[in-house]
């Protein structure tokens, strides 16, 4: 400690925290720090983010001790709506914590028997097309997808009906087929519900209450006549939940390697891991085409591709870059709607890419501009003019 204080007094850093961090980092290696290397911008941002999280969770624990639960910001991402827990009236006597589904002697995972709800071929086709729009089902294998389609049942209703109610036990999740729904929540200190978002066809909701065995965190009410698809808890937990978890683990390392996303924390990356869509191409296929509007970002999971670009009018496009496993392209599509500056053409026999649209990114995590602002160097690089158009 004396040596650390001496180092601080001799260097007199403007901000002592990074200096202390670097000193202890060298000290833990078992060597006497001779010269303190300046902490990097990314390390500074990581420390700031960790401090914010520490303060956030400290506040939550304090409110639990006081008998209240901290409410989330109403402007949080749409998919987090279900992740807000209702207020506890007496935390000492009524502990309604969040937990994963527990399997044991009387709830064996192996005892699951797929549910089959009869449907016409027209209904099955309509349902299949709709489920492919909800990212939580994109990780399913063909056999798993069929089980889900068999198990889902159609529910119709009128305006003003509460489909799920804040505080209720959740035993199913939904996908909106037709109509419009509004999501509201009563926050601590308020008597009137706060509007959080509107659900449109193709969006799913209610899954987090099943994932974490928690009460409903918000109320979702119909504003028009509606048609929804309802999936029961058992099918969701045995089929969808396991597939989503495997998909998230599979893609997490890829997403960590994407420079434009390196200011995101693990939780944010896990949400993207749920949302990316796997697409397969063959040799000679164009993944993106020069001049078309860009709205999707791609990451190569397996295979190789090249970028070709028209350098002179009237001339054939020329190869300007090669891509292989782990590399990505189209990242500016997460920021703007600029036209594509080049073609991306598959050169291997097969190529598997992970794709993510700007619409999905914004719906889950908000604007990428805000995420990049955590690290101003990255913000200037990607939002400024340093990245080729």
Per-domain residue ranges for the chain? 2-66, 78-92+111-240, 257-383
| CATH code, 78-92+111-240 | 2.60.120.10
Residues 6+ apart with CB under 8 A from 331: 258, 260, 297, 382, 387
Q: How far apart are the C-alpha atoms of 145 and 134, rounded to whole Å?
A: 12
Confirm whether pTM is higher than 0.85.
Answer: no
Which pLDDT value is given to residue 36? 52
State the DSSP string of 75-105.
TS-GGGGGGPPPPPS-TTT------PPP--T
Helix axes 241-256, 266-275, angle to 10 degrees: 120
Q: State the pLDDT confidence band at 59, using cuts at 50, 70 and 90.
A: low
For 71, half-sphere exposure in the C-beta direction (CA atoms, 13 angstrom radius) is 18
Q: Contact 362/318 with Cβ under 8 angstroms?
A: no
Each residue's pLDDT tens digit, 254-267: 777 777 676 677 76
Q: Point out the annotated binding site for 3',5'-cyclic AMP.
A: 207, 216, 331, 340
Across all residues in the chain, what is the average pLDDT?
Answer: 74
Confidence check: pLDDT of 298 > 80? yes
Beta bridge partners of 293: 339
Q: Contact 177/126 with Cβ under 8 angstroms?
A: yes
Beta bridge partners of 296: 357
At residue 67, the 3 state secondary structure works out as coil
Position with higher pLDDT, 139 vs 296: 296
State the DSSP string of 155-189.
EEE-TT-EEE-TTPBP-EEEEEEES-EEEEE--TT
Q: Which CATH architecture has domain 257-383?
A: Sandwich (2.60)
Q: Point out the annotated binding site.
A: 207, 216, 331, 340
Q: State the pLDDT confidence band at 55, using cuts at 50, 70 and 90.
A: low
Position with higher pLDDT, 299 vs 332: 299
Each residue's pLDDT tens digit, 200-256: 888 888 887 787 777 888 899 999 999 999 999 889 888 887 777 777 777 777 777
Q: Output the CA–CA distances (angstroms, integers) from residue 130 to 135, 136, 311, in the order listed.
A: 10, 12, 41
The burial class, CB within 10 Å (0-12 / 13-18 / 19+), for 292 is: exposed
Residue found by looking up tokens 């719906």 in the block? 363
Each residue's pLDDT tens digit, 180-211: 999 999 888 888 999 988 988 888 888 877 87
Each residue's pLDDT tens digit, 318-357: 999 999 988 888 877 777 777 888 999 999 999 999 888 8
Q: How far apart are the C-alpha atoms of 352 and 114, rounded to whole Å?
A: 31
Give the 3-state secondary structure percentages of the chain, helix then strand then coil, rounded to 5.
Answer: 40, 20, 40
Q: Does this chain's domain 78-92+111-240 share its CATH topology with 257-383?
A: yes
Q: How far apart are the C-alpha atoms of 377 and 384, rounded to whole Å?
A: 10
Q: How far apart are the C-alpha atoms of 371 and 19, rounded to whole Å?
A: 26
Which pLDDT value is given to residue 159? 96
């Amino acid at each position: 400690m004396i040596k650390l204080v001496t180092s601080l007094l001799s260097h007199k850093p403007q901000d002592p925290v990074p200096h202390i961090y670097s000193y202890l980092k060298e000290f833990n290696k078992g060597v006497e720090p001779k010269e303190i290397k300046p902490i990097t911008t990314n390390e500074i941002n990581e420390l700031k983010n960790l401090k914010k999280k520490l303060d956030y969770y400290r506040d939550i624990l304090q409110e639990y001790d006081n008998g209240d639960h901290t409410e989330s910001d109403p402007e949080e991402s749409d998919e987090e709506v279900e992740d807000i827990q209702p207020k506890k009236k007496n935390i000492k006597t009524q502990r309604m914590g969040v937990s994963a589904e527990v399997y044991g002697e009387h709830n064996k995972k192996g005892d699951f028997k797929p549910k089959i709800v009869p449907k016409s071929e027209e209904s099955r086709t309509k349902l299949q097309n709709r489920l492919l729009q909800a990212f939580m089902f994109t990780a399913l294998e063909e056999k798993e997808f069929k089980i889900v389609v068999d198990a889902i049942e159609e529910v119709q209703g009128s305006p003003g009906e509460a489909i799920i109610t804040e505080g209720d036990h959740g035993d199913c999740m939904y996908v909106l087929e037709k109509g419009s729904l509004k999501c509201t929540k009563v926050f601590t200190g308020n008597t009137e519900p706060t509007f959080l978002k509107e659900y449109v066809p193709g969006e799913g909701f209610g899954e987090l209450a099943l994932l974490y065995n928690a009460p409903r965190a918000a109320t979702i009410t119909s504003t028009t006549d509606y048609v929804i698809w309802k999936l029961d808890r058992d099918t969701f937990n045995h089929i969808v939940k396991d597939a989503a978890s495997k998909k998230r683990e599979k893609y997490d390392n890829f997403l960590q390697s994407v420079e434009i996303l390196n200011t995101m924390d693990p939780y944010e990356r896990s949400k993207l891991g749920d949302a990316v869509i796997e697409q397969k191409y063959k040799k000679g296929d164009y993944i993106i085409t020069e001049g078309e509007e860009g709205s999707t970002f791609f990451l190569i999971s397996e295979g190789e591709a090249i970028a070709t670009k028209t350098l002179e009018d009237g001339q054939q496009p020329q190869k300007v870059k090669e891509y292989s496993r782990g590399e990505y392209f189209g990242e500016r599509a997460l920021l703007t709607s600029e036209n594509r500056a080049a073609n991306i053409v598959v050169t291997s026999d097969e190529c598997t890419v992970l794709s993510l649209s700007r619409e999905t990114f914004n719906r889950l995590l908000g604007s990428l501009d805000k995420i990049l602002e955590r690290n101003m160097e990255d913000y200037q690089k990607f939002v400024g003019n340093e990245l080729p158009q």
